[in-house]
Amino acid sequence: MVNLTPTELDRYRRQMMLPNFGEAAQKRLKSATVLVTGVGGLGGTAALYLAVAGVGRLILVRGGDLRRDDMNRQVLMTDDWVGKPRVFKAKETLDAINPDVQVEAVHDYVTPENVDGLVQSADMAIDCAHNFTERNLLNEACVRWRKPMVEAAMDGMEAYLTTIIPGVTPCLSCLFPEKPDWDRRGFSVLGAVSGTLACLASLEAIKLITGFSQPLLSQLLTMDLVRLEFAKRRSYRDRACPVCGNTAPWRYSHPPSIECEV
pLDDT for 262 equals 41
pLDDT for 259 equals 44
Q: Can you tell me the distance from the alpha carbon of 200 to that of 162, in angstroms, rounded to the nearest whole number?
A: 10
Cα-only R_g, the chain: 17
pLDDT for 52 equals 98
**Given phi > 0 = left and psi -120 to 50 = alpha, else beta, which region is 214?**
beta
User: Which of 97, 91, 176, 94 lies closest to 131, judged by CA?
Assistant: 176
Mark the ranges of the chain whose per-residue pLDDT is less than 50.
255-262
pLDDT for 185 equals 62
- Calculate ∠ Cα 16-222-47, nearest 5°: 40
pLDDT for 111 equals 97
pLDDT for 55 equals 98
Distances in Å between the alpha carbon of 134 and those of 113, 137, 139, 181, 184? 12, 5, 9, 14, 13
**207-254 confidence digits (pLDDT tens):** 999 999 999 999 999 999 999 999 999 999 998 999 998 875 655 555
pLDDT for 206 equals 98
Q: Can you tell me the distance from the alpha carbon of 191 to that of 172, in angstroms, rounded to the nearest whole number?
A: 25
- 231-235 long-range Cβ contacts below 8 angstroms, 24+ apart: 235/162, 235/169, 235/170, 235/174, 235/175
pLDDT for 186 equals 63
Contact in structure between 152 and 50 (CB atoms under 8 Å):
no
Q: Identify the bridge partners of residue 260 per DSSP, sorted by sequence position.
A: 252
